[in-house]
Amino acid sequence: MKNIYNTIVKMLTKVPYQNRFRTIILVILIVSMLVSCKDFVQIDPPDSEIVQEMVFTSDDVALSAIDAVYHNLQYSGFSSGRTNSITILCAATADILKSFNTNPFYENVITSDNATILSLWSSLYQRIYEVNAILEGIESSSSLSETVRKQLQGEAKFIRAFSYFYLVNLYGRVPLITATEYQSNAVMPQSDPSEIYKQIVADLTDSETLLDNDYHGDLRTRVNKGTVRAMLARVYLFMENWEQAERYATMVINDPLYTLLPDLDQVFLKESTETIWHLLPVDSRYNTWEGYYLILEQVPNSQFSTSLTDSFMASLEEPDLRKTHWIGEVEGISDTYYYPYKYKVKLDSNLSEYSVVFRLAEQYLIRAEARAMQSNLTNAITDLDAIKERADLPLIADTHPGIDREELLAAIWEERKKELFAEWGHRWLDIKRTGNIDAVLSEEKPNWQSYQAMFPIPQHEYLNNPNLEPTDGYAY
């Protein structure tokens, strides 16, 4: 077996830089073969050793390993599948999307044996395993240049932090795994969210030091220092460290690489300078999974179709330009159905859009909230009005300059809903962290119960790891 791998390694190291795409695909196939068909906790050390032997023999092949992780991040259930995309799943679980089939997420009747819950969990932990393997490979390699070593470490630590951010916010207490040793991973107990956040901040702090401003790839498809700072701003917001959230958001806002674009139709194009990080399409038939799955071409039906909820549409005040530029509609016999139309391409091999993970508008809203929490209301209003002005809405500074802190925070959270709808689970995470989830969803969903704010630890994982504790409210 190793002889086969060694042969592949020799071949990969001879692939010219300009043909790296072929290199990437080969590494993807190898890594996927070794990890994708196994549970996260069942991956054997010999496989890890083979990957490390293969991948860390030269800069080009090592860089292809991190490319494979980006590919898997985009192609995995976390961001691609209709029922287990973080964007669609969390929009349905919150109050953004309604479903026209029997959907346990929209109805908030998820069970611990739900296959999507397991897929989402496994997808995130697979990415963590892959970057843990890369970090261990870097440490054991003497063949990499210092520049590539730092770049790989910075990107790997960012992706680990990014994955844990979603795990802790979706599932609560989760195992904190930072190595590939399968015996200890198999019985790893859950850590408190405070410990998970401590690791997230440590990884991101290291990444900020290790990475530079260069994206080192096609447009903005790899993370850079600006991406790390945007993530730190978000993380500190969730940790309620308002001073640090403001500090990092300001760094990003002041970075000349990024621009709050005045034209809403330009925001999600692949050349957009509002983008801080987006994902390279991995299938030549599609631009983005969001466009493919969310754009309606006919009246929705029971075949997994979704549309925007009535309550969300009612929240959009006139003359909000987001209503005309970011929302599409399909006319039925008696009803009009609305859908997210931030991405305009449903199916086209001419790639003009990439899936945006971080963009500058979020940073303005982060800073507005952080400033409001510190009672810096004047500057908080300025940040909020930057988003409202682009949407052609009346400005708070003109209509309500004497607004108090609680009213301003409510206005910021409402603006986050309208600006970031159907993007990477923002609404679901926001109504949880702000303590508004019961008030919001008891109005939207009559069967809502508070314990449903956390997804259940998957039953499969609970049964295989004796140190995991069940999630409150769910049957196992």
pLDDT tens digits, one per residue of 453-470:
999 999 999 999 999 999
Q: Which residue has the higher pLDDT, 397 or 182?
A: 397
Q: Which residues contact 63 (CB under 8 A, 6 or more apart)?
A: 20, 148, 151, 152
pLDDT at position 429 is: 98
* Band of pLDDT at residue 226, cut at 50, 70 and 90: very high
- Lowest average pLDDT, out of 190-204, 289-303, 324-338, goes to 289-303
How much is the pLDDT for 3? Answer: 43
Structure confidence at residue 53 (pLDDT): 61
pLDDT band at 102 (very low <50, low <70, confident <90, very high): confident
| pLDDT at residue 174 tops 90 | yes
> What is the mean pLDDT of the segment spanning 44-64?
67
Measure the CA–CA gap between 277 and 280, rounded to whole angstroms: 10
Q: What is the mean pLDDT of the chain?
A: 89
Q: Binning pLDDT at 50, 70 and 90, where does residue 2 land?
A: very low
pLDDT of residue 36: 42
pLDDT of residue 51: 54
Alpha carbon distance 363, 257 (integer Å): 14
97-99 and 327-331 beta bridge pairing: unpaired
pLDDT (mean) for 403-424: 98
Residues 443-462, mean pLDDT to the nearest whole number: 96
What angle separates helix 225-238 from helix 242-253, to the nearest 10 degrees? 150
Question: Which pLDDT does position 75 carry in this prediction?
Answer: 83
- Two tokens at 301? 């039906």
C-alpha dist (Å) from residue 31 to 78, 279, 390, 402:
18, 19, 44, 57
Determine what percent of the chain is predicted with pLDDT higher than 70: 87
Give yes or no for residue 20 having a pLDDT over 70.
Answer: no
What is the predicted pLDDT for the residue at 77? 66
Per mean pLDDT, which range of 24-38, 63-77, 322-336 is the poorest? 24-38
CA distances from 28 to 181, 184, 282, 360, 453 (A): 21, 26, 12, 31, 35
DSSP state of 269: B
Answer yes or no: is pLDDT of 393 > 90.
yes
With 80 as the cut, is the pLDDT of residue 86 above it?
Answer: yes
Per-domain boundaries in the chain? 1-211, 213-445
Task: Check residues 103 and 201 and name the one with the higher pLDDT.
Answer: 201
For the cut 60, the answer to whether the pLDDT of residue 387 exceeds it is: yes
Q: State the CATH class of domain 1-211.
A: mainly alpha
pLDDT at residue 27 is higher than 80? no
Contact call for residues 63 and 50 (beta carbons, < 8 A): no
C-beta of residue 100 within 8 angstroms of C-beta of residue 309: no
Q: What's the confidence (pLDDT) of residue 6?
A: 45
Question: What is the predicted pLDDT for the residue at 218?
Answer: 77
Residue 79's pLDDT is 72
Residues 384 and 391: their CA atoms lie apart, in Å, by 11
pLDDT of residue 18 exceeding 80: no
Split at pLDDT 50, 70, 90, the class of 81 is: low
Q: What is the per-residue pLDDT for 149?
A: 97
Q: How confident is the model at residue 185, as a pLDDT? A: 94
The CATH fold assigned to 213-445 is 1.25.40
Segment 288-326, tens digit of pLDDT = 999 999 999 999 886 668 999 999 999 999 899 999 999
* Percentage, residues of the chain above pLDDT 90: 79
Q: What per-residue confidence (pLDDT) applies to 392?
A: 98
Where are any strands of DSSP class E within 133-285? 174-175, 190-191, 275-279
- 42 has a pLDDT exceeding 90: no
- Report the pLDDT value the prediction gives residue 284, as an integer from 0 to 100: 82
Q: What is the mean pLDDT of residues 42-63?
A: 64
